[in-house]
Amino acid sequence: MLASSSQNTSSPWKVFWLTSVAVFLVSIDATILFISFGAIQKTFPHATSAHLSWVLNAYSIMYAALLVPAGRLADMHGDRKIFLFGVTIFIFASALCGLSPSSEMLIAARALQAVGAALLTPSSLSLVLAAFPPAKRPVAVALWGAVAALAGAVGPSTGAFIVDHFGWQYAFYVNVPIGLISIVRGLSALREHRTGEPAVAPDIFGIFLLISGVGLLSLGVVQSGEWGALDMKTVSAVLTGALLLLAFISWSGKSKAPALDLTLFRSANFSYVNLATFCFGITFTTMFFGFFFFLTKIWGYSLSLSGLAVSPGPLLVIPVAIISGKFAARLGHRVSLVLGGFVFAGGAMWLFIGAGPSPQFLSVWLPGMLLTGLGVGLTLPSLSGAAVHGLPGNRLGVGIAVNTAIRQMGSVFGVAATVLMVGGKNVDLPHFQTLFALLVLGGVLTSVCCLAVDTRPAARTAGAQPSRA
């Protein structure tokens, strides 16, 4: 049961919009950083692409590792308090990012920014759930999830315009005034809620193992181009990272409050869906990050033009997600997931075959964007829905957090793979054909992982059984 403060109840939609603004900033931040990467490289010309990849990966790793513990903190200490604290850290770190005089400080500020993002994300959902009556919560949660899709839709063009006309620093500065509005309005409009969960110390050792393991694996991948795939440093990083992740799995089985609740993976559906989420997390990030490299390095588009060229795909995600969500409610998620992965792979194959050294927007690029956008719209929201299908009500929040963390871990390896393949200065069309081929493989693997997913409604599943009368 939720225990609440004595403040007057706020309008549910006021709570929704206040929390959604902060979630929007977190969601759009990653998109803008993909766009900003080239500009950041010019600001720090002595830093390698592999080194600067940690501007993205330090954030993703920290965010993934802290998401579940942050949800527990909101349960114990109050979602309003943790939300406002998270927004404060996020905008403070955003200002530090823009002011960073060195790549090292920028990476550190990004890690701090991830702490704020991890604190505000689960607490914002908790505030939304508490504000709405039970009958309206499914709609509110669906709209809360659509905020990230909206950020993906407007992020490319908006972010490219900001970076192209004002500099990459303003991609961070823009967070500050918007975040301050959320804090000021939230102090009076948000109501405190606690679940009454007993205080359990965060799993610091588990968090350390997870961050170190994923970080070392990513380091091995991203540096293999410079060190050599079989170099002792590469092999040592990969092996040590793998051993630390195995230690993390073992430790999580003993911890009272693990950084990732691995008992959820006893469900076959949850396991298959999160394997698909990891695959698609790699694939989606490689696509988004790689497309900007292709348009600017091969076709010579400006950053603003690249943002517009990438936008048709993300703009499809929201309407497709709404339609596929209604379909999944009646027949389960498997059809949308399997179809989405193959459609995405088809879009990547179209680019692999058709994208040449000269710009061909209408005949090649636009069809590729529409196909990949259709695939993302069918796949990404359905993965989130399928991940928590069948979980008891008291584990929905943890299930969403674990699924989000898995996707972020996939994103880490997507960044590493993209930087390794096309992040250097001397890249040409064959490098991008390799990237497009990887996208095809990622889409197919996502579909294959989802073949065993069964989230059909119980009544429909029962109706499919032969009669025993």
pLDDT in tens, 192-206: 876 655 666 678 899
35 contacts 158 by C-beta, under 8 angstroms: no
Residue 197 placed within a domain: no
Looking at 192, 217, 245, the residue that finishes a domain is 192
Least confident of 81-95, 127-141, 169-183, 353-367: 127-141
Residue of higher predicted confidence among 248 and 261? 248
141 and 210 fall within a common domain: no
Chain mean pLDDT for the chain:
86
Residue 393: predicted pLDDT: 64
Amino acid identity at 35: I
Residues in CB range of 423: below 8 A, 6 or more apart: 49, 50, 53, 293
Least confident of 167-171, 193-197, 359-363: 193-197
Residues in the chain: 469
Residue of higher predicted confidence among 395 and 104? 104
Query: What range defines the domain where residue 398 resides?
Result: 263-457
The residues with which 193 forms a beta bridge, in sequence order, are 4
Is the pLDDT at 144 greater than 60, yes or no? yes
330 and 420 fall within a common domain: yes
127 and 268 fall within a common domain: no
The residues with which 4 forms a beta bridge, in sequence order, are 193
- Cα–Cα distance, 394 to 258 (Å, whole number): 16
143 and 213 fall within a common domain: no
Token pair 């230690």 is found at 247
pLDDT band at 6 (very low <50, low <70, confident <90, very high): very low
Residue 91 placed within a domain: yes
The tens digit of pLDDT for each residue in 380-403 reads 888 888 887 877 766 766 787 888
Is the pLDDT at 232 greater than 80, yes or no? yes
CATH number at residue 315: 1.20.1250.20
43 and 96 fall within a common domain: yes
Q: Where are the beta strands (DSSP E) in 38-160?
A: none
- The greatest distance separating any two alpha carbons of the chain, rounded to the nearest whole angstrom, comes to 76
Is the pLDDT at 448 greater than 90, yes or no? yes
- Cα–Cα distance, 229 to 240 (Å, whole number): 15
- Cα–Cα distance, 419 to 442 (Å, whole number): 17
The tens digit of pLDDT for each residue in 332-353 reads 889 999 999 999 999 999 999 9
Residue 199: predicted pLDDT: 60
Residue 442 placed within a domain: yes
267-295 average pLDDT score? 93
Looking at 235, 258, 281, the residue that finishes a domain is 258
Residue 198 placed within a domain: no
149 and 179 fall within a common domain: yes
The tens digit of pLDDT for each residue in 14-58 reads 888 888 888 888 888 877 888 888 899 999 999 888 899 999 999
269 and 303 fall within a common domain: yes
Residue 404: predicted pLDDT: 85
Amino acid identity at 25: L
306 and 394 fall within a common domain: yes
312 and 442 fall within a common domain: yes
Looking at 151, 173, 192, the residue that finishes a domain is 192
225 and 302 fall within a common domain: no
381 and 416 fall within a common domain: yes
46 and 181 fall within a common domain: yes
- Counting the structural domains of the chain, the total is 3
C-alpha gyration radius of the chain: 22
Residue 467 placed within a domain: no
pLDDT band at 126 (very low <50, low <70, confident <90, very high): confident
Residue 464 placed within a domain: no
Cβ-count burial of 126 within 10 angstroms (0-12 exposed, 13-18 middle, 19+ buried)? Answer: buried
HSE-up of 253 (CA within 13 Å, CB side)? 7
Is the pLDDT at 173 greater than 90, yes or no? yes
Residue 299 placed within a domain: yes
CA 38 to chain centre: 21
- Cα–Cα distance, 325 to 381 (Å, whole number): 8
Is the pLDDT at 268 greater than 60, yes or no? yes
Q: How many helices (H) and strands (E) does the chain have?
A: 18, 2
Other C-beta atoms closer than 10 Å to the C-beta of 107 total 21
For the entire predicted model, the pTM comes to 0.86
Residue 466 placed within a domain: no
